[in-house]
Structure 1
Amino acid sequence: MNERIFGLDFGTTNSLAAFVADGEVRALTDNDEKPLPSVVWYRGSETVVGRTARAHIDSLDGGGTPGFVRSPKMMLRRDGPVHIDGRALDAADIVSEVLAHVRSQAELLHGHRIDRAVLTVPVDFAGPERRALRIAARKAGISVVHFVHEPAAALYAYLRNQLNYQHQLALLENKAVLVFDWGGGTVDLSICRVLGGVVKQIANRGNDNVGGDHFDERLRNHIRDKHSEHYGIFDLFSREQPGAAATLLSQCELAKIELSVHDRYTVLARDYIVGNQRERNLSVDVTRNDLEALSHDLVRKGLEEIDIVLEQARLDRHDIELCLATGGMVNMPIIWNGLIERFGARVPKLVNRDRIIAEGAAWIAHDQLGLQLSKPLEILVAGDQGRGEWLPLVDAEFSLPVENETAAATNRRFYCTDPRDGQAVFEFGKPRKVGLVQPKDERETVALLTMPVDQTARPLLERLECKVQIDHDYVAKVTVASGTEGRAVEKEIHSLDFGLALPQPNER
């Protein structure tokens, strides 16, 4: 890989690209030194993307101006078209507009054509979402070299910035690391372990009901109420100027950011409503205490996610060796203090928390890191004494393919033990934990496949060939064929777990 392969963090609220040149990582922000909003505006025959589109969103009275799309990333989970302003659009087409905009801005700043990227994804993005995202990227002129989980990218960026990388890596071997990412759309948590030089996720949580956008909306409602109360206005919504709601929401986002540093901020919106000269201009003072009181329950719920994910991993707070706090919301003192109360000095203060995921992806591209399965893909077979036994089909160390490749993962031969009902049932699974797996450990079934067999044949006569291929979207295709009857059936498995293979000593 080289410096023209960039890292791309396609976020729910904002997106950001980064690249490495001359040993330094550079985030490709816009003219305001901020990430690019993931917003699309279909304005007639014109498509507007990014900050200009965000500035014109009018969410008046809880609705939205036709033609605007916020958080298109979540649309990749939907089946069927997305209806925007009377038009049926494919989600991949909408997402491609954002990715193309990020790419064009990156090329302007970088000075070179950029058409390959390491693209980060949430840990709960399965095969269908990754496929849809690759299609969107291709439409934007971007070839995806790798998909990398966002927490793994954040952790690698942190490690890459350490003076003694190998020493820090050794300290984290088999230790639990919590990546706590609170952004505008969601709060996402992932507990990782570094096992044998591979970053693996062992537990994940997400909550899209406490993202930073909810804080902005509450602050906007509070400011509306204050302005209405001051001037005795009882029909403020009906008197808001077109676009005024969006302007006020942007001002509230800015106020939230400023109140992380200052105790007081004045929210201004000129010509906010139709009215006389005194009441038409909005000017309301808000304090940090106001914001914290308005959002107290959101903060509590977001921080409670920590205890939930720890319980899921069967850990407690003392088991966390390092807590990486990323995302803009962590700048709020009440949230930051909540993390310090739980983990103390194990929460380093990151200066690049709004860029760390994109920068991690850029370093992964630059250092030519690969991905491996973090859990084996297994098959349940008949064992001794009539008990089922899980056997690995694809080992956890299997290296995943890069762009435009498909890897033959395994080709195993089995025999039908009981053909009397005319069917052979194949059950595929994976361990619920990472690391060394014992036969008694709990498994999660990921797919069932039924193969017709000759029910007149005697046991152990019909030979069944099982072949597994894994593509560049980390989707496994399982094919079972009868060596005697000539039949074959296929099944796709979309929920493989994968981790980031870190460079070994002397590789950097």
Structure 2
Amino acid sequence: MSRIVGIDLGTTNSLVAYMEGGFPKVIPDAEGHVLLPSVVGFTADGILVGDAAKRQLVRNPTQTIYSVKRLMGKGYEDVKEELRYFPFHVVPGDEVVKIRVADREVTPPEVSALILRALKERAEAHLGEPVTKAVITVPAYFNDSQRQATKDAGRIAGLEVLRIVNEPTAASLAYGLHRLKEGTVAVYDLGGGTFDISILRVKDGIFEVLATNGNTHLGGDDFDRAVVDWLLADIKARHGADLRADLEALQELRLGAEAAKCRLSFEQRTVLTIPLPQHGFTYRREISRAELETLIEPLVQQTLGPCRLALADAGLSANAMDEVVLVGGSTRVPLVKRRVQELFGKVPHSQLNPDEVVAVGAAVQADILAGGITNMLLLDVTPLSLGIETLGGVMSVLTPRNTTIPTSAKELFTTSVDGQTVVDMHVLQGERELVKDNRSLARFELSGIDPMPAGMPRIEVTFLIDANGILQVNARELRTGKAASIEVKPSYGLTDAEVERMIEESFVHAEEDVASRLLIEARNEADTVIRATERALGQASGLIGQEETAQINGALAALKAARDGSDRDAIRAATERLNQATLHLAEVLMDSALKEALTAKRVTEALGKPER
């Protein structure tokens, strides 16, 4: 049997892992990095994925797509409120949102497929064999549309998705392989764009999910946005500049805010320095952990409500948990750890790397499917109730939320009009009583019913939910035997024809994409070094001698000339020469910045001293 890999398709970063000798291993790239930034850049020369795409975020914001997971399986009405945070252009499509890049439009599953393909190629290079099968994780609170969109992305990338696994459940499998024997476990999963809480019972190798809840639009991205809004207000107050319309400046601020947030997880204070030459100043701001926590406290509080709901659905109290496990990079934030500890009354575990634990769990599930691990069993649940529309626009639930899957449910219905020969079956997902307040998944007709008085036909509706959480609906009129069925293709999914077209296009363009990517990456690195050097030279007036300045300018001119060519090796060599030429300049500028900061601190302290 061919090897099955486990993939964590994340909002901020994505990873791929596999099992070797009974132990999960996360696969690094050629440079040893295991995290692949979930960023895709579209350029005139081709497509970039990962770090190369992330590096062009600032200078090419409208053509660089990030956090696409927040758009998966969504309609335009679902996401229009947060589109102001994205520099790229999201447009309404035929039920699926689309993203406009250059002269074409792409769907979120297509963008996700590019990330998945990059992980597939990484795994193939590492393992030395083709990789065609995968287990992919999704937030536990993903609905049917979002799960189907993820499966579509896998197909477009050339992967057979054997199982869609909920992220908190995957994390529990990873911990189960290491230490969990039995008991009740709360898995608190706060990633870049999504939040999940799952309550599980573990016993004798069986991982049974009792309840799940969450918010598919809450995560570290929202922390960053809160900081950016605060910085924008501060810049306007101190410098009189409104940067909201400057897409490049906004990306600089977003990346700076993210970096400051990460540093403040380990330090009490940090300094944010963002050069804004287009506005004639460099923005400097010291940020304390206390200030960050004030900004994000309301967002952290939003994660606690779903925790309480999941506990109520499981019929358990917070202090009944034997273990509390933290998953996702955003759980490194000290405030998050404190609030989780306060809610559950015990110190949460985070022994495994929170960035890697979901991918590790996906690899465990992949090995279970491949028959490698035989002493572990996963029993997951469906996150939202499923039902059909009945008379008066009411949703009749067949499968309540937190039902263990795979599962089936049956219920009898009848007609409401005399002589009715066709019944319109409307499949819904959600927790509200009325159809209009729930998500429409699919419609199909049961036709050929013999004309009978209202209430006489007996229509048996069966819901079948597979282990991926994907729904199939069957309807049968028991008196006549007439039947109809549908595998639910959500209203916000792609048609089979669209998926096939995208797969074909990926094969057609794969060779040229790979051929051009290395050249684009080399040019992008050169552009970054060129801009940084020009900025440094502008700030180094009087700090270095004329001879050193001339050497740097010579290396700079050589790199600019090489950058315009098509020899990527020459570009990389010229980039390295310029890096070497500017080593001393970087040291001088760092010393100057430190002296300036110390001087400013002494002045502040002197001004702040009370008179004797």
TM over 0.5: yes
Q: Which amino acid aligns with 1:106?
A: A
* Residue 66 (structure 1) aligned to one of 57, 62, 65: 62
Per the alignment, residue 148 of structure 1 pairs with: 165
Deviation at 1:360, TM superposition (A): 0.4
Q: Does 2:234 correspond to 1:234?
A: no
Find the aligned partners of 1:299 and 1:471 in 2 and give their Cα distance: 33
Residues 1:180 and 1:198: Cα distance change in structure 2 (over 3 Å)? closer
* Residue 200 (structure 1) aligned to one of 209, 212, 216: 209
Per the alignment, residue 385 of structure 1 pairs with: none
Q: Does 2:63 correspond to 1:46?
A: no
Per the alignment, residue 488 of structure 1 pairs with: 483
Deviation at 1:467, TM superposition (A): 7.5
Per the alignment, residue 277 of structure 2 pairs with: 273
Per the alignment, residue 318 of structure 2 pairs with: 317
Deviation at 1:297, TM superposition (A): 2.5
Per the alignment, residue 267 of structure 2 pairs with: 262
Deviation at 1:423, TM superposition (A): 6.2
**Contact 2:416/2:455 (8 A) holds in 1:** yes
* Residue 76 (structure 1) aligned to one of 60, 72, 78: 72
Aligned partner of residue 247 in structure 1, secondary structure: helix
Find the aligned partners of 2:461 and 2:212 in 1 and give their Cα distance: 30
Aligned partner of residue 26 in structure 1, secondary structure: strand
Per the alignment, residue 258 of structure 2 pairs with: 253
Residues 1:157 and 1:135: Cα distance change in structure 2 (over 3 Å)? same
Residues 1:464 and 1:327: Cα distance change in structure 2 (over 3 Å)? closer
**Contact 1:55/1:246 (8 A) holds in 2:** no
Deviation at 1:203, TM superposition (A): 3.3
Deviation at 1:161, TM superposition (A): 0.8
Residues 1:246 and 1:105: Cα distance change in structure 2 (over 3 Å)? farther
Aligned partner of residue 77 in structure 1, secondary structure: coil
Where structure 1 has 5 or more consecutive residues not aligned to the other structure, the ranges are 381-389, 401-408, 433-444, 496-508
* Residue 477 (structure 1) aligned to one of 472, 476, 479: 472
**Contact 2:96/2:107 (8 A) holds in 1:** yes
Find the aligned partners of 2:253 and 2:113 in 1 and give their Cα distance: 29
Q: Does 2:303 correspond to 1:295?
A: no
Find the aligned partners of 1:123 and 1:92 in 2 and give their Cα distance: 18
Residues 1:53 and 1:158: Cα distance change in structure 2 (over 3 Å)? same
Residues 1:287 and 1:96: Cα distance change in structure 2 (over 3 Å)? same
Find the aligned partners of 2:216 and 2:476 in 1 and give their Cα distance: 43
* Residue 449 (structure 2) aligned to one of 436, 453, 456: 453
Find the aligned partners of 2:483 and 2:245 in 1 and give their Cα distance: 67
**Contact 2:70/2:193 (8 A) holds in 1:** no
Residues 1:299 and 1:370: Cα distance change in structure 2 (over 3 Å)? closer
Residues 1:463 and 1:373: Cα distance change in structure 2 (over 3 Å)? farther
Per the alignment, residue 182 of structure 1 pairs with: 190
Deviation at 1:477, TM superposition (A): 3.3
**Contact 1:425/1:450 (8 A) holds in 2:** yes
Q: Which amino acid aligns with 2:35?
A: P
Find the aligned partners of 2:186 and 2:404 in 1 and give their Cα distance: 23
Per the alignment, residue 343 of structure 2 pairs with: 342
**Contact 2:154/2:161 (8 A) holds in 1:** yes
**Contact 1:379/1:426 (8 A) holds in 2:** no
**Contact 2:464/2:472 (8 A) holds in 1:** yes
**Contact 1:370/1:399 (8 A) holds in 2:** no
Per the alignment, residue 285 of structure 2 pairs with: 284
**Contact 2:174/2:361 (8 A) holds in 1:** yes
Residues 1:343 and 1:42: Cα distance change in structure 2 (over 3 Å)? same
Deviation at 1:312, TM superposition (A): 4.9
Find the aligned partners of 1:488 and 1:42 in 2 and give their Cα distance: 47
Aligned partner of residue 239 in structure 2, secondary structure: coil
Aligned partner of residue 237 in structure 1, secondary structure: coil
Aligned partner of residue 131 in structure 1, secondary structure: helix
Deviation at 1:227, TM superposition (A): 6.1
1:101-132 superposed Cα distances (whole Å, 9 cap, x missing partner): 22223333444432211111222334433333
Deviation at 1:42, TM superposition (A): 1.6
Find the aligned partners of 2:21 and 2:255 in 1 and give their Cα distance: 37
Larger relative contact order (Cα-Cα within 8 Å, sequence gap ≥ 6) = 1
Deviation at 1:220, TM superposition (A): 3.8
1:192-229 superposed Cα distances (whole Å, 9 cap, x missing partner): 334883422423121624x2122223334545566666
1:271-295 superposed Cα distances (whole Å, 9 cap, x missing partner): 432366xx44x44332222222332
Find the aligned partners of 2:114 and 2:236 in 1 and give their Cα distance: 39
Per the alignment, residue 8 of structure 1 pairs with: 7
Q: Does 2:133 correspond to 1:116?
A: yes
Higher helix share: 2
Q: Which amino acid aligns with 1:22?
A: G
Aligned partner of residue 80 in structure 1, secondary structure: coil
Find the aligned partners of 1:342 and 1:37 in 2 and give their Cα distance: 32
Residues 1:450 and 1:193: Cα distance change in structure 2 (over 3 Å)? farther
Residues 1:425 and 1:150: Cα distance change in structure 2 (over 3 Å)? same
**Contact 1:480/1:489 (8 A) holds in 2:** yes
Aligned partner of residue 345 in structure 1, secondary structure: coil
Per the alignment, residue 96 of structure 1 pairs with: 113
**Contact 2:145/2:441 (8 A) holds in 1:** no
**Contact 2:220/2:330 (8 A) holds in 1:** yes
1:330-359 superposed Cα distances (whole Å, 9 cap, x missing partner): 112122122222224352232322211110
| Higher deviation after alignment, 323-332 or 480-489 | 480-489
TM-score (norm 2): 0.60
Where structure 2 has 5 or more consecutive residues not aligned to the other structure, the ranges are 75-94, 370-375, 389-396, 431-439, 491-612
**Contact 1:379/1:427 (8 A) holds in 2:** no
Aligned partner of residue 277 in structure 2, secondary structure: coil
**Contact 2:4/2:133 (8 A) holds in 1:** yes
Deviation at 1:363, TM superposition (A): 1.0
Aligned partner of residue 156 in structure 1, secondary structure: helix
Pick the structure with greater CA Rg: 2
Residues 1:447 and 1:238: Cα distance change in structure 2 (over 3 Å)? closer
Residues 1:93 and 1:16: Cα distance change in structure 2 (over 3 Å)? same
Residues 1:493 and 1:257: Cα distance change in structure 2 (over 3 Å)? same
1:80-117 superposed Cα distances (whole Å, 9 cap, x missing partner): 35031352223322221111122223333444432211
Q: Which amino acid aligns with 1:272?
A: L
Find the aligned partners of 1:414 and 1:217 in 2 and give their Cα distance: 49
Per the alignment, residue 506 of structure 1 pairs with: none
**Contact 1:56/1:243 (8 A) holds in 2:** no
**Contact 2:422/2:449 (8 A) holds in 1:** yes
| Higher deviation after alignment, 107-116 or 39-48 | 107-116
Residues 1:296 and 1:484: Cα distance change in structure 2 (over 3 Å)? closer
Deviation at 1:447, TM superposition (A): 9.6
Deviation at 1:361, TM superposition (A): 0.6
Q: Does 2:27 correspond to 1:28?
A: yes
Q: Which amino acid aligns with 2:192?
A: G
Find the aligned partners of 1:258 and 1:244 in 2 and give their Cα distance: 21
Q: Which amino acid aligns with 2:170?
A: A
Find the aligned partners of 2:302 and 2:462 in 1 and give their Cα distance: 45
Per the alignment, residue 403 of structure 1 pairs with: none
